[in-house]
């Protein structure tokens, strides 16, 4: 089942990329495997329009989302994280619950505090 879901997500990103401007950053908020996050990033890079992916699973549910009080664990390349910082901060209690992880996919692989960049 995971491969089917991953394939559907990849196809959706490719379709979405048609309407995204060059240099856009996609924020993936689902919890996916590190392998799938890397494959999705590769699919965006292969399109060749300087598209980026941030892997940022979130915790908190709909009521906390409405309040902008989610916990986010974001990983990706530095320039993508910089570009999306204001959006991530707005979703995560003004940045109080925003944690940056060293590399894409690392959130799902090892969500422990030792991997977090403060």
Burial of 98 (0-12, 13-18, 19+ CB in 10 A): buried
2-117 has which fold?
A: Rossmann fold (3.40.50)
Three-state DSSP class for residue 102: coil
One-character DSSP codes across 46-83: HHTS--EEEE--EESHHHHHHTTB-EEEEES-HHHHHH
Q: What is the pLDDT of residues 49-74, one digit of tens each?
A: 898 999 999 898 889 888 888 899 99
Q: What are the boundaries of each domain within the chain?
A: 2-117
Helices 2-17 & 34-47, crossing angle to 10 degrees? 30
* Cβ atoms of residues 88 and 73 within 8 Å: no
Q: Each residue of 74-83: pLDDT tens digit?
A: 998 888 899 9
């Amino acid at each position: 089942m995971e491969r089917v879901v991953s394939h559907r997500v990849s196809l959706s990103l490719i379709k979405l990329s048609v309407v995204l401007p060059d240099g856009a950053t996609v924020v993936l908020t689902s919890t996916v495997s590190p392998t799938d996050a890397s494959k999705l990033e590769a699919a965006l890079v292969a399109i060749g329009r300087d598209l980026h992916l941030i892997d940022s699973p979130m915790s908190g549910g709909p009521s906390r989302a409405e309040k902008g009080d989610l916990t986010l664990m974001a990983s990706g390349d530095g320039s993508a994280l910089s570009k999306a910082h204001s959006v991530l901060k707005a979703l995560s209690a003004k940045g109080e619950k925003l944690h940056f992880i060293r590399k894409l996919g690392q959130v799902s692989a090892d969500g422990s505090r030792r991997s977090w960049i403060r």
